[in-house]
Amino acid sequence: MTQIEAGGNDRVAALTYRDAGGRTHRIAAKAVVVAGGAVETPKLLLLSRGRHAPEGLANETGLVGKHFMETLFWSSSGLHPGPLGSNRGLPSDGVCWDFNAPDAIPA
């Protein structure tokens, strides 16, 4: 899907998509489910500008595509030549909130 077209009644009217050959098609739609993931969904909404949605679809607040927060994850592991009994005891991990914007919590 490349664009969702808003109608004049605050409803969607149509969508466009590109087929495998690169040809663009437009089909009328009464409803569209947008579930393109955290990046592609706002991208599609912002690309869906038109007469009835000058700032992009569902973007009357101007907040679509803003305040995205990624949760970074780092994992390290190693191999030990001897048995460590790592199945015993409590699993432990650490969380660092130092860079949590906008209110970082210093350790």
In terms of Cβ atoms closer than 10 Å to its own Cβ (0-12, 13-18, 19+), residue 38 is: exposed
**36 versus 54: smaller Cβ distance to ligand FAD:** 36
3-6 sheet: strands from edge to edge: 3-6, 12-18, 24-28
Per CB under 6 A, does 12 bind ligand FAD? no
Nearer to ligand FAD, 35 or 79 (CB): 35
| Binders in 25-64 for ligand FAD, by CB under 6 A | 35-37, 40, 44
Rounded least distance, CB 36 to ligand FAD, Å: 3
Q: How far apart are CA 101 and CA 44, in angstroms?
A: 26
Residues that bind ligand FAD (CB under 6 A): 1, 35-37, 40, 44
